[in-house]
Structure 1
Amino acid sequence: MTKFVSYITEAFQELKNNVSWPEWSEVQKLTIIVALFSVIFALLTWGVDQLFVKALEGFFNLIK
């Protein structure tokens, strides 16, 4: 158990002393970029899905 507590303590010390954290304004900008990319990617995925739905509907209507 002492090894586990030591590991957690050392991990927090490393995060506190050795990690360089970005400025708050940079975090906000990057968050907006990730959110926009996620929305665009979701819309593109939906569009491709709709394209495949229409293509398969057309194909199955042809073979009826």
Structure 2
Amino acid sequence: MANIKSYVSSSYDELKNHVTWPTNAEAQRLMVVVAVFSVLFSLAIWGVDELFSAVIAQYFNWVKF
């Protein structure tokens, strides 16, 4: 139990005194960057999925005959 208490105490000290936290403006700017890239990446994955679905559907149409 003493090890857990020591771990929590040292973790809190590390977060409070040794971590450089971003400013509110910087955090908001970074959040926008992450959101934009997430949307772009999801659209790219959707496009590839649609393309592969069409290719597979066309393949099965050719095989059916």
Q: What TM-score results when the alignment is normalised by the length of structure 2?
A: 0.93
Counterparts of 1:6 and 1:26 in 2: how far apart (Å)?
A: 33
Encode CA deviations 1:23-59: one digit per residue, 9 max, x unaligned.
1100000001101111111111011000001011111
Q: Could you tell me which residue of structure 1 aligns to residue 62 of structure 2?
A: 62
| Letter of the structure 2 residue corresponding to residue 47 of structure 1 | G
Which sections of structure 2, spanning at least 5 residues, go unmatched?
none
Partner of 1:20: 20
Identity %: 45
Corresponding residue number in structure 2 for 1:6: 6
- Two-structure CA RMSD over aligned residues (Å): 0.7
Q: How many residues align?
A: 64
After the TM superposition, list the runs of 4 or more consecutive aligned residues in structure 1 that deviate by more than 2 angstroms.
none
Residue aligning to 1:30 = 30
Deviation of residue 61 (structure 1)? 0.6
